[in-house]
């Protein structure tokens, strides 16, 4: 019986639960961890006495885990934004397999302290239907003929999202 | 007594005793080992657009295209699951994509992107995880997924000269509610062992049979229902020493029919037309080096 229990424990140890994705790409936990590691630098961008504010931000994270581009809300805040851009550009995330992964989150400066914001969201890459190939030069014609447009617009790698996707300032 | 029975089953299924399997199908002892394969794929696609009533719609400029990929990929054992299946990392190295011989518009760069192949020790494919990072335009990595059948062929255990049917499944399910399940009803024939480049020999199988698939896809404002039908043929060469894939090839000829519609605000689906794409798909891969 003891041998049986020993073998069972040994057999189950190290096995991966089904449905648990391998850590090849960034997930929410990894992004939150990266942001939280840079909290002190981010907090310095809100001087003492700063009013409470929430700042939606978008980060383009490279395969190596560095930040390639920071998008801050409009209208810009010329006093705060250069500091935030530097602090967010200095964040480090774990390396992953996407060439560039874009995530949005919110910085919350509330009652004189930077609060952890538990929600981060991947900005999905534009993608067309699976298993279908339609040349970009005729995609719009095909879409018109079909009466529905499932095809993503052609975009160069790393092209920022359209203006309507950019974060906007939302004072608390 | 029930507890003892349960524990015996768990142990038999999970480690202290393994079910009988062909030598070489066990995962390598070290995670750092892996195999690298060179691959090339050529997919000739002819597209038809049909209106809601099935009438062909003329689309100027919509001609047959030949998509091609050439590159290498890395296969590495990464983990085991409680059902005794194994997780294999499949990661693309450098990949060159062309359309009709021209680089450019074809697809996003697949280099460095990875997926996880989950299979039983028999190499029977159970799932392909992380496909959401590869699938759909502009990356079109989903069009390369049939290569996984060459990478993980569930060959039957038969003597030279014999044939046997074995159905294999290839799920292409990038996200919940989005994807296609395909079934390949293959007849496998074992041929005479053949010499391979490194001086060894390989066990050779030729296989062929019909392919069927069904599924769906969708995005903001649109939805698609899929039917796939066609035939496939291929060859598999497994090293006699390590039972790993030395080389493999696949040709599949078939049609992907996507009924496209608008997704209405109440969640219902209104069919608007059909995209019918005929594929002449040929792919092959060859082991470049490395031992498991």
Cβ–Cβ below 8 Å for B273 and A152: no
Cross-strand bridge partners of residue B182: B170, B213
Task: With beta carbons less than 8 A apart as the criterion, state whether B110 and B133 touch.
Answer: no
Residue range A101-107: mean pLDDT, rounded: 96
- B51 chain-A contacts, CB cut-off 8 A: 145
Using CA atoms, how far apart are residues B180 and B282, in angstroms rounded to an integer? Answer: 20
Residue A92 DSSP one-character state: -
Length of chain B: 292
B256 touches chain A (CB under 8 A): yes
Cβ–Cβ below 8 Å for B221 and A149: yes
The confidence score (pLDDT) of residue B22 equals 45
pLDDT tens for A159-171 read 544 433 444 444 3
Of B49, B142, B273, the CB nearest to A131: B142
B180 touches chain A (CB under 8 A): yes
Q: Which helix (H) or strand (E) holds A103?
A: strand A100-110
The confidence score (pLDDT) of residue B102 equals 64
Residue range A40-67: mean pLDDT, rounded: 95
On the question of pLDDT at A35 being above 50, the answer is yes
pLDDT tens for each residue of chain B, 292 residues long? 455 554 444 444 443 433 333 434 555 544 457 899 999 999 999 999 999 888 999 988 888 899 999 999 999 999 999 998 999 999 999 999 998 866 555 456 899 999 999 999 999 999 999 999 999 988 999 999 999 999 999 999 999 999 999 999 999 999 888 999 999 999 999 999 999 988 899 999 999 999 999 999 998 888 999 999 999 999 999 999 888 999 999 999 999 999 999 887 777 778 889 999 999 999 999 999 744 4
Q: Which helix (H) or strand (E) holds A109?
A: strand A100-110
Q: Which helix (H) or strand (E) holds A84?
A: helix A81-89
- Please, is A79 exposed, middle or buried when counting C-beta atoms within 10 Å of its C-beta (0-12, 13-18, 19+)? exposed
Of B16, B62, B277, the CB nearest to A138: B62
The confidence score (pLDDT) of residue A118 equals 83
Quick one: three-class SS letters along B236-258? Answer: EEEECCCCCEEEEEEEEEEEEEE
- A11 chain-B contacts, CB cut-off 8 A: 10-11, 14-16
Cβ–Cβ below 8 Å for A24 and B226: no
End-to-end CA separation in angstroms for chain B = 41
The confidence score (pLDDT) of residue B20 equals 35
The confidence score (pLDDT) of residue A137 equals 82
Of A5, A16, A145, the CB nearest to B81: A16
The confidence score (pLDDT) of residue B138 equals 87
- Please, is B73 exposed, middle or buried when counting C-beta atoms within 10 Å of its C-beta (0-12, 13-18, 19+)? buried
Q: What residue in B sits closest to A22 (Cα-Cα)?
A: B116
Task: With beta carbons less than 8 A apart as the criterion, state whether B95 and B69 touch.
Answer: yes
B82 touches chain A (CB under 8 A): yes
* Strands annotated E in A12-99: 53-62, 67-71
The confidence score (pLDDT) of residue B292 equals 41
Using CA atoms, how far apart are residues B288 and B270, in angstroms rounded to an integer? Answer: 49
Structural domains present in chain B: 35-289 (2.30.230)
- A145 chain-B contacts, CB cut-off 8 A: 49, 51, 57, 59, 273
Cβ-Cβ contacts under 8 Å between A and B: the total is: 183
Q: Which value, to the nearest 10 degrees, does the dihedral of the CA atoms of residues A128, A131, A134, A139 take?
A: -30
- Residue A3 pLDDT grade (very low, low, confident, very high; cuts 50, 70, 90): low
Q: What residue in B sits closest to A146 (Cα-Cα)?
A: B273
Which residues, 6 or more positions from B220, have their beta carbon under 8 angstroms from its beta carbon? none
Q: What residue in A sits closest to B7 (Cα-Cα)?
A: A8
CB count within 10 Å of CB B69 equals 23
The confidence score (pLDDT) of residue B25 equals 53
Of B57, B108, B174, the CB nearest to A130: B174
125-164 in chain B: CB under 8 A from chain A:
129-130, 133, 135-140, 142-143
Alpha helices in chain B (DSSP H): 2-14, 147-151
> What three-state secondary structure class fits A74?
strand
Cβ–Cβ below 8 Å for A130 and B136: yes
Length of chain A: 172
* Strands annotated E in chain B: 35-50, 56-57, 65-80, 86-99, 102-103, 114-119, 125-129, 163-175, 178-195, 201-219, 222-239, 245-263, 269-289
Of A24, A146, A151, the CB nearest to B137: A151
B191 touches chain A (CB under 8 A): no
Percent of chain A with pLDDT over 90: 56
């Amino acid at each position: 019986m003891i041998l049986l229990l020993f073998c069972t424990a040994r057999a189950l140890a190290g096995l991966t639960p089904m449905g648990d994705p391998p850590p090849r790409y960034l997930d929410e936990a990894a992004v939150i961890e990266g942001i939280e590691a840079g909290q002190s630098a981010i907090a310095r961008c809100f001087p003492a006495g700063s009013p409470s504010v929430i700042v939606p931000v978008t980060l383009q994270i490279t395969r190596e885990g560095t930040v390639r581009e920071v998008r801050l809300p409009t209208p810009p805040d010329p006093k705060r934004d250069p500091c935030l851009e530097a602090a967010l550009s200095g964040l480090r995330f774990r390396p992953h397999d996407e060439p560039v992964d874009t995530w949005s989150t919110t910085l919350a400066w509330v009652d004189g302290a930077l609060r952890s914001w538990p929600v981060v969201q991947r900005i999905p890459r534009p993608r067309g239907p699976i298993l279908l190939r339609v040349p970009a030069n005729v995609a719009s014609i095909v879409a018109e003929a079909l009466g529905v447009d499932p095809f993503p617009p052609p975009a160069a790698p790393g092209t920022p999202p359209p203006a309507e996707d950019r974060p906007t300032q939302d004072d608390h | 007594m029930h507890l003892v029975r349960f524990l015996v089953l768990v142990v038999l299924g999970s480690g202290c005793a393994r079910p009988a399997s062909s030598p070489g199908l066990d995962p390598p002892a070290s995670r750092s080992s892996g195999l690298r394969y060179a691959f090339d794929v050529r997919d000739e696609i002819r597209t038809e657009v049909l209106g809601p009533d099935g009438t062909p719609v003329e689309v100027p400029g919509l001609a047959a295209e030949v998509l091609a990929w050439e590159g290498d990929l890395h296969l590495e054992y990464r983990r085991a699951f409680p059902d005794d299946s194994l997780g294999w990392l499949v990661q693309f190295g450098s990949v060159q994509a062309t359309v009709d011989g021209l680089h450019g518009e074809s697809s996003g760069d697949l280099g460095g992107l990875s997926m996880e192949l989950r299979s039983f020790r028999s190499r029977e494919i159970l799932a392909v995880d992380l496909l959401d990072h590869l699938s759909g335009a502009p990356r079109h990595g989903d069009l390369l997924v049939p290569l996984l059948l060459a990478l993980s062929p569930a060959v039957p255990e038969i003597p030279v000269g014999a044939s046997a049917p074995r159905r294999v499944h290839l799920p292409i399910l990038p996200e919940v509610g989005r994807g296609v399940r395909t079934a390949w009803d293959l007849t496998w024939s074992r041929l005479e062992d053949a010499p391979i480049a490194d001086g060894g020999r390989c066990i050779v199988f030729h296989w062929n049979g019909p392919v069927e698939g069904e599924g769906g896809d969708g995005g903001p404002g649109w939805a698609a229902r899929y039917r796939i039908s066609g035939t496939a043929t291929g060859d598999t060469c497994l090293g006699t020493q390590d039972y790993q894939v030395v080389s493999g090839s696949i040709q599949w000829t078939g049609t992907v029919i996507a009924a496209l519609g608008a997704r209405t605000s109440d969640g219902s689906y209104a069919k608007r037309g059909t995209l019918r794409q005929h594929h002449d798909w040929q792919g092959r891969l060859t082991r470049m080096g490395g031992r498991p």
